[in-house]
A and B are shown apart, each in its own frame.
Chain A
Amino acid sequence: MTMSSPRFLTVFDEPVPPLTAPGVVASGIDPAVQLVDGLFRGTDLLGRVTNADAMIGLKVALPAGTGSVRVVVTLAMDDASLEWWDERVPADVRPRNAAGTRLLQVLSQGEFRAATLITRRRSDHGRETRSVVEFEVAASEIEDDALLVVELRSRPEQVPSWADRAVPPYGAVGVRVDAIEVIPQTTEPVSRTGHLAGGHVPTGGSGEVEVRSGLFVANPGQTEPVWSVRAVVRPPKRRARYRRRKPWRVRAKRKAKRIGKELLPAIAWPAARRGLGSYRGMRRRLAGTPVHRAADPVLTPRLPSVPAKPKRMAGSLAAAALADLVAARRITVAGFDTGTGAEVHVASAYAGGGRFHVRPVGILPAPVLVGIWADPARLSVRERWCRRWLSWRLSHGPAAEPLPPRPAMYTPELDPDDPLTNQVVLSGLLGGRTGGRIRLPAGRFPVSGLVIGPGWTIEGDDTTLVQPIATPEPMLHVVGSDVTLRGLRLELPPSSPGPHDGAHWTAITVGRYLYAEEPGWLTGVRLEDLTVRRDGRCAANSVTVIGAVSDLRVRRLSVTGGGTGLMVHWGGVGTSVSAISGPTYHPHDLAIDGLVVRSAFEGFCLSSVHDVVVRGVHCGGVEIGFRLLAGDNADRYHLLGPDSEINRRITVAGCEIGWSGDLYAIRVAGWGRSEVDGLISRRDFEDLQLVDCRIIPLPVGIGGRSSRSVARRPLVLEDAGEVDVSGISLVDKGEEISGLDSENG
């Protein structure tokens, strides 16, 4: 780096007495606090932030052999924090919400370390609301004779609109820095990841973090995080009385005191270390000694969860109303990157008992601020009234389960001729155990109607399974999570399914179309290196993924013949398609990589799903390449209704369609007609990416039917919202067809 060499020292400068680690600085006039920026030094606390960003430079002396330093920063808000924000934040800064949740990013030695929140409640009036941030810095990052710098930064200027008011800009202004503790370690720094901040410490006795105002910050951890959020009813309590504004004499005195302090030059501060007492008291309190407050409902351990079903709870109308709200999942969850303000997609899944599992879609590169709320516009009057008593408790979600001991491996012997024997052998294995590994022998074996529960891996070794006669039951029906089907060739006869039979007559079905009651989600299914061959073209789907299915991966699936190669479809609670009672379930978080479909009616179809990535599709001689549909009822029966994620974030990248149909090669339709009442629902696609989709028109070949259309349209868009079709191209090798236009009907 090129820089000039300033000369700041004079003969009158004396050495700064450093803080000897381990030690605490809890007063701004401690000489070890050599430098501040955007901070007003305090006497009984380290200081109070005056600007959007603030810095503290501590002179520290580390004992020999220090490998790293643990730095514990104690931050707080009190009543003055609000006044300071109002007084010091430039008047043109909007929104003005001094009482909002303060988002703070903590940096040290030029590097980002953690983010935290402070959310002050009215009931905190007269005491402070605290947040503690801990991180470790390698000793090598602190140059000899230099400073340990701790910087606080406010939120980015631009954040999603839902957070703009709740988490005001200039959030650091008025925040107290109570103390910084420096603890040397002999080891290399341990990265303290995954820290959760709900707006206030302590967290209570249960290990759960209280999520104030429905906002929490999660710092990145080493694994893909899952957070468990539990709804609790905070009983109505006596309103805190507002304190009247201090009389002008008191205010004037305070101001005079402040000005007086400003006049005290940095170089003249005495070495007094006052204020340690209050800091130590606070540390004691944090260390577990109960806070001496009578029956603080916020901090009492384990508040009862919202009951799963609406019922009256001991006189609490609120609980009943909120139970309905939560169980019906009319709760929205969203997040943003605390460093950039960019939206972070957060998925939530209801886990029953008033508990959600929330997780970011993808890995978490930076801390994320997550908001949980119920949109008042969609609430009943009673729910709106009771909403204030709904509160959340946060903990780390179920950790990725440790790998079970290597599952039992079964190598059953199959009969090359007798389907019944094979059925008995395989069903016996699958039915009697809770998962395992089945390795099928090489050869060709008749099999039909296997139901595969959770935890099973079925692998082939040059194995072909043949369905002797067509049956409505899927050849392989996956009904449990964490199932892998790998290296199998499945052969089926032609079949003639009726309408709404998409989950039947298939080679593989994952999930269900109709449920009698609310199902659990089926996750962790892997379909790899599978070949499905059906003699001739028919209406039956080859592989169907349907209903409450998420986190499914399909790799290298090859389909010949039949209806749709891969059908992904919504499912729901109800007795029939025309008697859906809801809720409906929509497959999501799916990755399909390598799909080859030949001589079939259709390559693939996604109906009413979200968060899907399809890559590397090759279709040859298909009447339709693929369809993206909103589903019969779109979001009408989804628990979150319009707030659901349906039709969001769908990517089709790299898709070659040898198109022999007479209608269209690709159809994107943002509407559906309900089989329940005939109503038409609409739902736009959002963040739909169609990349490198090439349509190669072939001579029409539609299985002997007569052509239904005079003009073939490669692409049909119907009420799909804004769709970028620039990634779709037409590779003209065949007959004259109409241009690549679309119709909106």
Chain B
Amino acid sequence: MAMIPGFTEFCADANLFWRANTIPAVRSDPVVLVEAMSQDIRVTIRNLTVANALRRMVPARLVVYTGSDEDWNDILWTYFDKGVLTDLARAYGAVDVIDVHELVDRRVAGTGPDALVVAGVRFPAELPRSGIAPDVLDQIVSATTCRVLRVPRLTPQIKAGAKYRRVRHRSEQFSHLYDALVSGLRPIAVVSSHVDYDHWGLAVESAQRFDVPVVHVQSTGGLKAYTLFPDRCRGAQTFRAELTNQIAEYFEKAVWPNRHLLRRNAEMVTWRSKGNLGRPSWWRGGTAASLELRTEADRRVVRRHAMSRFGFDQAKPVIVVYNHAVSDALNTNVEVFADLGDWFEQTAAYAAHRDDVNWLLIDHPQQALYDASGFFDEVARRHNAHPHMAFRPSTQVSKNVVWSLVDLALTVRGSISNELPAYGIPAIQAGWSEWSSCGFTKVARDVADYWHLLANAIEALLAGLPLITDEQIERARLWAWFYRSGTDVNSSLVQHWEMGQNAALFRALRVVMRNVEPDADPAFTAVRRMWARREPFLTRFDLSQPGQTLADTISVLAPPLGAAIEAVTA
């Protein structure tokens, strides 16, 4: 990474700022383990900010683990720079910055180091074996191998290959190392931008086994983070599955009952989302991603064109199947099918003999980063004789055209299953996602249930029956608000993601650190609220406030809301 102008000065200011804004820690204090393994400096700034917000409450030393390997340099990173990340970590007060990749590589190569010392704790050259369950390790090795090879699933040949052996070997070493670090340092929290794959996921896995809270900071928006506190967990099979349950519980407890107060805010997010405003950082921009349909009549006329473009029968409903990035974090949440590719292939095969509806199958816009096997084209070739099926890359179809067609959407965990229901279009999920238990999609329990849900939905479409209720639309809009606003903390200490990583970002951060008194910065109050109440995420404000106070907080006092507040407070 070329050094961005202003970085050195920013580090100096940050160092001064955080020394004043954290509780001084001594050698006997615990540590916070913070991940710095993304090339994007915005990710690490977020991780470190959350960690330091914790260090305002709990005296703790900051230990940062970093590094990269050839696989990730190959498939994803283009400018990973350990030096920059190390400087940043030191500026934010890190007492130690360790390169876990290098440690693992040396142990794999048998050139193991002498004893490792981290934050004053000495670890032996020969680390004890990790206590990870073999099936959990297998799952992480498989998901990582699929990702680095960019394939939808492992074949026997791949499992017999050098890449798989290398990933397995390294994963074992990662697990040994993380187990040692977590057990040896007893951190108050592990802060990580990712919870999947070997180098990120195994740290989270170790932390969970040793009952250490894990803060999963998001790479989007302002400051967004999910946290799993060990005492709140009820044994779901993965980190994300546990989160799904806790999010749903919170949603039912704190969001849905406040729907009358939040309705206008939810409406605002829904409206802005049509113009693609406030979108998550990984969503596509541009005019092709705007929704400009307004009325049923608009949709009818555009639909006629779209139907003819795809060669569909105008009289039949359309089901749209949204293919996933096929090697993306496989099985890190509940999936009904064996893998994402399996779901897509089986759904396409089902579609082939259901010619009473039209099927539009859309590929993921970033698929090139996740698939090198030509998976989508291969499935498309299998079914190219069917005129009721059309396969298209997402980049070749605009949202206006697809949304003029879609009468039902199918996905495993795609955000389309939040987006469409917010506008009254039903979705079926073949797996869990953050919102899948919030009640606005149909979620299959297993494969048989998926086919059952699908068959029933097709019957309803053919009979002209509605598949989504007003309540579900409202729930979807509320989730959109909750995701984009309620759990997105607008702190000037991280700046919004869309500021980019450039001199302007450093200037803005320096202005804040030098000129703005830090009292009640939203990052601090939100982290404190989450930590103190052991809530599963950061919130922009306290959703448990009584109605009038909540209304004051979100500044809505339009006349109909008076009654709404009473309804809530009564």
Q: Which residues between 610 and 648 of chain A lie within 8 Å of chain B, taking CB atoms?
A: none
Given known pairs A4-B466, A110-B304, A146-B297, the reply for A53 and B271 (CB within 8 Å) is no
A143 and B294 contact, Cβ closer than 8 Å, known pairs A11-B267, A36-B287, A268-B275: no
In the assembled complex, A405 has its CB within 8 A of some CB on chain B? no
- What is the number of residues of chain A that contact chain B, defined by CB distance less than 8 Å? 46
Q: Is A40 an interface residue (CB 8 A)?
A: yes
Given contacts A6-B424, A57-B302, A110-B304, contact A13 B400 (CB under 8 A): no
Known: A2-B317, A13-B271, A265-B275. A7 touches B294 (CB 8 A): no
- Quick one: CB contact mask for B462-485 with A, threshold 8 Å, 1 for yes? 111011100001000000000000
Whether B275 contacts A35 by the Cβ 8 Å rule is: no
Q: How far is the CB of A260 from chain B (nearest CB, A)?
A: 11
Chain A residues with CB under 8 Å of B303's CB are 3
* Contact assessment for A143 and B292 in the assembled complex, using a CB-CB cutoff below 8 Å: no
Beyond A34-B292, A35-B400, whether A10 also contacts B270 by CB under 8 A is yes
Q: In this assembly, does A346 line the interface, its C-beta being within 8 Å of a C-beta of chain B? A: no
Q: Is B295 an interface residue (CB 8 A)?
A: yes
B314 proximity list for chain A (CB < 8 A)? 1
Q: Which residue of A lies closest to B402 (CB)?
A: A37
Question: Does A2 contact B462, Cβ atoms closer than 8 Å?
Answer: yes
Assess the B424–A55 pair: CB atoms within 8 A.
Answer: no
Tell yes or no: A266 within 8 A of B by CB: yes
CB-defined contacts of B268 to chain A, threshold 8 Å = 10, 12
Is A6 in contact with B287, judged by CB distance below 8 angstroms? Answer: no
* Most chain B beta-carbon neighbours within 10 Å: one of A11, A40, A41, A147: A147
How far is B290's CA from A10's CA once the two chains are assembled, in angstroms?
A: 15
In the complex, whether B371 has a CB less than 8 A from a CB of chain A is no
A3, B423: Cβ atoms closer than 8 Å: no
**B305→A145 contact, CB < 8 A:** no
Q: Complex Cα distance A267/B268, Å?
A: 13
Give B417 Cβ to nearest chain A Cβ, in Å. Answer: 15
Query: In the complex, are the beta carbons of A39 and B426 less than 8 A apart?
Result: no
How many angstroms from the CA of A189 to the CA of B398 in the assembled complex?
31
Interface string of B307-318 (1 = CB under 8 A from A): 011000011110
Given known contacts A262-B287, A266-B290, A8 and B267 CB-to-CB distance under 8 angstroms: no
Contacts of A149 in B (CB 8 A): 301-302, 305
**Contact between chains at B297 and A262 (CB < 8 Å):** no
The answer to whether B288 touches A38, judged by C-beta atoms less than 8 angstroms apart, is yes
Between B287, B296, B308, the greatest number of chain A beta carbons within 10 A of the residue's beta carbon is seen for B287
Instruction: Determine whether the beta carbon of B466 is less than 8 Å from that of A5.
Output: yes
Taking the complex as formed, is A129 at the interface, i.e. its CB lies under 8 A from any CB of chain B?
no
CA distance A237 to B423 in the complex (A): 60
B424 in contact with A1 (CB, 8 Å): no
B434-457 CB contacts (< 8 Å) to partner A: none
In the complex, B299 has a CB within 8 A of chain A: yes
Are B298 and A57 neighbours in the complex by a CB distance under 8 Å? yes
A599 contacts partner chain B, Cβ-Cβ < 8 Å? no
Are A38 and B398 touching (Cβ within 8 A)?
yes
What chain B residues lie within 8 Å of A151 (beta carbons)?
A: 305, 309
Is A144 among interface residues, defined by CB-CB distance under 8 A?
Answer: yes
Assembly CA distance A151 to B314 (angstroms): 17
Answer whether residue A372 sits at the interface, using C-beta atoms and an 8 A cutoff. no
Taking the closest CB of chain B, its distance from the CB of A38, in whole angstroms, is: 6
A33 to chain B, nearest CB (A): 9
Q: A52-B396, A146-B297, A266-B290 are in contact. Are A10 and B302 (CB under 8 A)?
A: no
| Cβ–Cβ < 8 Å partners of A9 in chain B | 294-295
With known contacts A1-B315, A4-B467, A37–B300 Cβ distance under 8 A: no
Option from B398, B401, B424 in Cβ contact (under 8 Å) with A7: B424
In contact, B317 and A7 (Cβ under 8 angstroms): no
Q: From residue B64, how far is it (CB to closest CB) to chain A in Å? A: 34
When chains A and B are docked, how far (Å) is the Cα of A157 from the Cα of B530?
57
Verify if A153 is at the interface (C-beta below 8 Å from B).
Answer: yes
Residues B462 and A35 in contact, CB atoms below 8 Å apart: no
- Using Cβ atoms and an 8 Å threshold, which residues of chain A touch B295? 8-9, 145-146
Contact A267 B271 (CB under 8 A): yes
Q: Which residues of B contact A723 (CB under 8 A)?
A: none
A27 CB → nearest B CB, Å: 14
Closest-by-CB residue of B relative to A151 is B305
Which residues of chain B are within 8 angstroms of A265 by Cβ–Cβ distance? 275-277, 290
Chain A residues near B95 (CB-CB < 8 A) = none
Once the chains bind, are B309 and A53 in contact (CB under 8 Å)? yes
Q: List the B residue with the shortest CB-CB distance to A268.
A: B275
Q: How far is the CA of A35 from the CA of B290 in the complex (A)?
A: 9
Residue from A51, A145, A267 having most chain B Cβ neighbours under 10 A: A267
Q: How distant is B559 from chain A, measured CB to nearest CB, in Å?
A: 14
B461 CB contacts on chain A under 8 angstroms: 2-4
Q: Is A263 an interface residue (CB 8 A)?
A: yes
Q: Within residues 420 to 457 of chain A, which ones have a CB less than 8 A from any CB in chain B?
A: none
Q: Name the residue on A nearest B401 (C-beta).
A: A37
With most chain A CB atoms within 10 A of its CB, the pick from B275, B295, B317, B473 is: B295
Decide: A266 and B275 in contact? CB cutoff 8 A: yes
B292 & A3 in contact (Cβ 8 Å cutoff)? no
Q: Who on chain B is nearest to A107 by CB? A: B305
B196 contacts partner chain A, Cβ-Cβ < 8 Å: no
In whole angstroms, what is the CA distance A667 to B299 when docked?
A: 61
CA A52 – CA B310 in complex, angstroms? Answer: 13
Residues of B within 8 A of A4 (CB): 317, 407-408, 424-426, 461, 466-468
Contacts of A145 in B (CB 8 A): 295, 297-298
Interface membership of B161, Cβ < 8 A: no
**In the complex, what's the smallest C-beta–C-beta distance from B442 to chain A, in angstroms?**
13
Q: How far is the CA of A107 from the CA of B307 in the complex (A)?
A: 13
How far in angstroms is the closest Cβ of chain B from A5? 6
Residues of chain B from 243 to 274 with CB closer than 8 A to chain A in the complex: 264, 267-268, 270-272, 274
Say yes or no: B287 contacts A2, CB within 8 Å: no
B298 and A39 contact, CB distance less than 8 A: no
Taking a contact as CB atoms closer than 8 A, the residue among A2, A11, A16 that contacts B294 in the complex is A16
Chain A window 285-299, contacts with chain B (Cβ cutoff 8 Å), 1 for yes, 0 for no? 000000000000000
Is B112's CB within 8 Å of the partner chain A? no
B304→A3 contact, CB < 8 A:
no
**How far is the CB of A450 from the nearest CB of chain B, in Å?**
58
Q: How far is the CB of A132 from chain B (nearest CB, A)?
A: 21
B318 to chain A, nearest CB (A): 8
Interchain Cβ contacts under 8 Å between A and B, 25 examples: A2-B317, A2-B407, A3-B464, A6-B296, A8-B274, A8-B291, A8-B295, A9-B294, A11-B264, A11-B271, A34-B294, A35-B302, A36-B287, A37-B302, A50-B288, A57-B301, A57-B302, A57-B400, A107-B308, A109-B304, A146-B298, A147-B301, A149-B301, A262-B285, A268-B275
Extra A-B contacts (18), CB below 8 Å, given A8-B423, A57-B292: A2-B317, A2-B461, A7-B423, A7-B424, A10-B270, A11-B267, A37-B401, A52-B396, A55-B302, A90-B396, A145-B295, A146-B297, A146-B298, A149-B305, A151-B305, A262-B286, A265-B275, A267-B275
Residues of A bordering B, CB below 8 Å: 1-13, 16, 34-41, 50-53, 55, 57, 90, 107, 109-110, 143-147, 149, 151, 153, 262-263, 265-268
